[in-house]
Amino acid sequence: MTRRSIALVTAAGCAAIFAALVHAPRLRAQPAPPLPVHQVPDSKNGGTVVMLCDGKTSVEVKDLKPGQSMTHAQAVAVTRELMAQWQREHPNEKWEMAQTGQPSQPLPAPSAASGADAAAKATGAKPLSKGTQQGDTYASFTDRDYKVWKDQTDNFVAEGNQLFHDGAALGGTIGVSCDMCHPDASNTHPETYPKYQVQLQRVALLRDMIDWCIENPVKGKALAPNDTRLRALEAYILAQRKGVPLDYGKH
Amino acid sequence: MAARHKSVETKYMEDRDAVLRGLRGLDRRTFLKVLAATTGAVMAKSLMPPHSFQLVEVANAAPDKTASAAGMAGKPPFTFAYVSDTHLYQRTLNQRFVRAAVKAVDDVNALDPQPDFVLFGGDLAQLGRREELDLGMQILAELKAPVKMMVGEHDWFYDLGDAWQEMFGPPNYSFDWKGVHVVVLMSVHEKDFWTARKMTPAQRMRTVAGLDNGIQSRFEVGDDERKWLSADLAKVPHTTPLLVFSHSPLYKYYRNWNFWTDDAEQVQAILKPYQHVTVIHGHTHQMLYNQIGNISFYGLLSTAWPWPYAPTGLPPLTIQMNRADPFDQFDGLGDGRIDVRADGLADKIYSLWDRNPVTVKADYLVSHGKIARPPAPQFPSY
């Protein structure tokens, strides 16, 4: 057998076993899909439009030309205005503002016919039981939403699991995969990052160590930060340490 | 041997050493000037283990009084060496593990005096292929002392032992050596998990080769071999010291990774009547030792890669080795020597590459940790 055909045979054998194990699609070298971007409305008065993190609420600062920055007082006023507008649209949500030292305005008590309950009915979310706080700041999600998110997350972790056991999928050429030295991702210590790695001569992130181990001992090519495979490996490694307290800088 | 080329790691370490050597040659002012630019390298120096080996005095060679008081003959002491868990792929695929195996052979050949024999602790091959075993046999053939072979699961599960047995003979056997009865076991039998799953030999081998897939069965010595062991020991008096070699630890450490022998208790029961029993095992790739009743257990180092300590089940007497440096191919690995004393107990020396050797005295284990405690690690696992 040639060296190439052996690499293929072993890769194929491994893939077959793990396909049976995790039913995860094989990850190719591809960047992660782009994240959604804020669709900021055009300015009406030639000023600058500032948008809230919800991606909906926005205000225009009239006198602010592109490239100019606001005074602190202006900036505080803009954030207040944004939050006030958001509060008008979400009358039953509570948002703690740590700001000028003045007590925040008491919010009206939610009535039985509040907007949130109406929204809950429309989306099929469980109506709130008595004595429970409103569950989510932005919307009411259904059990199905949570299940879909969980499945997606678990699948991503499973893809990472598969890569962790398949050196060839990381471009490795010598038959070595991560699990050989890190069964169940033991001794990868994701909770200790960032930390100074003497040999890298810098403060490293988890992905820097993953890349290091991909180059050696796996003898593949380091993955770009946006590579789906690197992201999946990170997901798997972190998932194995669920519940371990974060402890950055630990050696 | 094949041309020895330098690994990326070796080159990296050499570059780093060159920087450090340069620094040592500087006067203090110049040193301070370059310090800022090379802080990382300087810090590296303080973390670097010494590169040279230190000679270890041979322990306790004279027959001692307790031995004769206990009615033992005071047999001549002897020494044997070990190399274990080389996990070789074919030479064209992977040079890293070849380099390491060759390094271990060089180490053992440099021992003076030479050991009586060299135990190979199993897992010569990575995927059980004949080519891998051939390569291993060629490398071990360079050893000056005679070699005693033990089989590991990586040697076995591609063809269920055909190639290995053709090359090395039966996987379980025994012999007498200077008053000690030596037994070599095949402890990595597994109940059939492959037929129902319609696995090919390569898939079966791959599955056994992985620790954390949960599909394979647990290791066992098995009924037949336990019967063989009882019969073999029937003629051996209980005062005769026993040395037992097994690839898997003959106790239960961590089931999920098969750091485990399923019928361990039954095997231990067979060994129980003997005054001194030392079980030497491969497979776990770490400094690992244990004492159960009359039996001292001792795990060998690998030459290929170190394994983390399992999350649970570590024997309380084991003092962990420092976590391995991922930037040094050879760290946490090595070979070793075992000095069998006149009373039949064994002192064991972990010859760690790039670190000081660590001796685990028989007294430490048989006293259940009361005396002769080995040094504590600076960086235990977490």
Chain B residues 212-241 with CB within 8 Å of chain A? 212-213, 215
pLDDT at B27: 52
Cβ atoms of B107 and B118 closer than 8 Å: no
Question: Which among A7, A13, A189 is the nearest to B206, CB-wise?
Answer: A13
Three-state SS string across A26-85, please?
Answer: CCCCCECCCCCCCCCCCCCCCCEEEECCCCCCEEEECCCCCCCCCCHHHHHHHHHHHHHH
- Is B323 in contact with A187 (Cβ distance < 8 A)? yes
Cβ of B212 and A198 within 8 Å? no
Q: Give the per-residue pLDDT at A210.
A: 97
Question: What is the spatial distance between Cα A189 and Cα A60, in angstroms, rounded to a whole number?
Answer: 46
Using the Cβ of A44 and the Cβ atoms of chain B, whether some distance falls under 8 Å is answered with no
In Å, how far is A208's CA from the nearest CA of chain B? 13
Which chain B residues touch A6 with a CB distance below 8 Å?
A: 90, 93
Contact B94 A17 (CB under 8 A): no
DSSP secondary structure string for all residues of A121-142:
HHHTPPPPPTT---S-SS----
Looking at residue B360, its pLDDT comes to 97
Single-letter amino acid, residue A119: A
The model's confidence at residue A94, banded by pLDDT at 50, 70 and 90, is confident
Q: Which among B210, B306, B308 has CB closest to A165?
A: B210
Q: Which CATH class is domain A1-30+142-251?
A: mainly alpha
Q: What is the pLDDT of residue B20?
A: 60
Q: What's the CA gap between B282 and B308, in Å, rounded? A: 15
Nearest CA in chain B to A210: B326
State the burial class of residue B129 (Cβ atoms within 10 Å of its Cβ: 0-12, 13-18, 19+): buried
Domain ranges of chain A: 1-30+142-251
Distance of CA B326 to the CA centre of its chain: 20
Within 8 A of B207 by CB-CB distance, chain A residues are 17
Task: Report the C-alpha gap between A217 and A190 in whole angstroms.
Answer: 19
The CA-based diameter of chain A, rounded to the nearest angstrom, is 78
Would you place residue A13 in the very low, low, confident or very high pLDDT band (cuts 50, 70, 90)? very low
Please compute the mean of the pLDDT values over residues A17-32 and round it to a whole number. Answer: 53
Contact A94, A53 (CB under 8 A): no
Q: Which ipTM did the prediction report?
A: 0.76
The answer on pLDDT for A117 being more than 80 is no
Residue A186 sits at the chain B interface (C-beta within 8 Å)? yes
For residue B173, list its beta bridge partners: B184
User: Which of A176, A211, A242 best probes binding to B when mutated, by most B CB atoms within 10 angstroms?
Assistant: A176
Closest Cβ opposite residue B257 in set A3, A183, A212: A183
Residues of B in contact with A182 (CB under 8 A): 308
> Measuring CA to CA, how many Å separate B288 from each of B86, B101, B315?
18, 21, 8
A183 and B127 within 8 Å at the Cβ level: the answer is no
Please tell me the predicted confidence (pLDDT) of residue B338: 97
* Gap between the Cα atoms of B42 and B30, Å rounded: 14
CA–CA separation, B53 and A193 (whole Å): 34
CA-nearest residue of chain A to B93? A174
Q: Where are the domains of chain B?
A: 67-366
State which residues of chain B have pLDDT below 50. 1-3, 31-72
* Helix, strand, coil % in chain B, rounded to nearest 5: 30, 15, 55
Residue A111 has pLDDT above 80, yes or no: no
Characterize the bridge pairing of strands B118-120 and B78-83: parallel
Q: Which two structure tokens, joined as six digits, stand for B314?
A: 């570590």
User: B residues 148-187 near A, CB within 8 Å?
Assistant: none
Check CB contact under 8 Å for B203 and A16: yes
**Looking at beta carbons, which residues of chain B come within 8 Å of A173?**
93
Predicted pLDDT at A142: 84
Q: Could you say which residues from 29 to 58 on chain B have a Cβ atom under 8 Å away from some Cβ of chain A?
A: 39-41, 43-44, 47
Q: Is A202 within 8 Å of chain B by CB?
A: yes
Q: Which of A8, A180, A198, A218 to mutate to test the interface with B (most CBs of B within 10 A)?
A: A198
| pLDDT at residue A8, as a whole number | 39
Range of lowest pLDDT (A3-12, A184-193, B129-138, B141-150): A3-12
β-pairing verdict for B180-184 and B242-246: parallel
What percentage of chain A reaches a pLDDT higher than 70?
71
CA angle A187, A193, A196 (to 5 degrees): 100
Lowest mean pLDDT among A91-105, A193-207, B46-60, B137-151: B46-60
Q: Which residues contact A60 (CB under 8 A, 6 or more apart)?
A: A43, A44, A45, A47, A48, A49, A50
Which of A175, A201, A215 faces B40 most closely, judged by CB atoms?
A201
Please answer yes or no on whether B329 and A217 come within 8 Å at the CB atom.
Answer: yes
For residue A12, what is the nearest residue in chain B, using CA coordinates?
B203
The answer to whether B100 and B10 have CB atoms below 8 angstroms apart is: no
pLDDT at A124: 59
Residue B148: its H or E element: strand B147-149
Average pLDDT score over residue span A188-203? 95
B329 touches chain A (CB under 8 A): yes
C-beta atoms of A183 and B212 within 8 A:
yes
Write b or e for each residue in A120-152: b if 16 or more Cβ atoms lie within 10 A of its Cβ, otherwise e. Answer: beeeebeebeeeeebeeeeebbeeeeeeeeeee
Output the pLDDT for position A97: 59
Contact by Cβ (8 Å): A14, B206: yes
* A23 pLDDT more than 50: no
- The answer to whether the Cβ–Cβ distance between B308 and A7 falls below 8 Å is no
B11–chain A Cβ distance below 8 A for any pair: no
Average pLDDT over residues A217-241: 96
Q: What pLDDT, on a 0 to 100 scale, did the predictor assign at position B264?
A: 98
Residue B135's pLDDT is 98
A186/B202 Cβ within 8 A:
no
**Least CB–CB distance from B93: residue in A174, A184, A199:** A174
* Helix pair angle (A228-239, A206-215), 10° resolution: 110
Q: Are the Cβ atoms of A9 and B202 closer than 8 angstroms?
A: yes
Closest CA to A182 of A159, A164, A158, A206: A164
- In total, the C-beta contacts within 8 angstroms joining chain A to chain B are 95
Residue B135 at interface with chain A, using a CB cutoff of 8 Å = no
**B200 contacts A13? CB cut-off 8 A:** yes
User: Residue-wise over B294-307: b if at least 16 C-beta within 10 A, else e?
Assistant: ebbbbbbbbbbbbb
Report pLDDT for A118.
Answer: 55
pLDDT of residue B196: 97
Q: Does A7 touch chain B (CB under 8 A)?
A: yes
CATH class held by domain B67-366: alpha beta
What pLDDT, on a 0 to 100 scale, did the predictor assign at position A31? 78
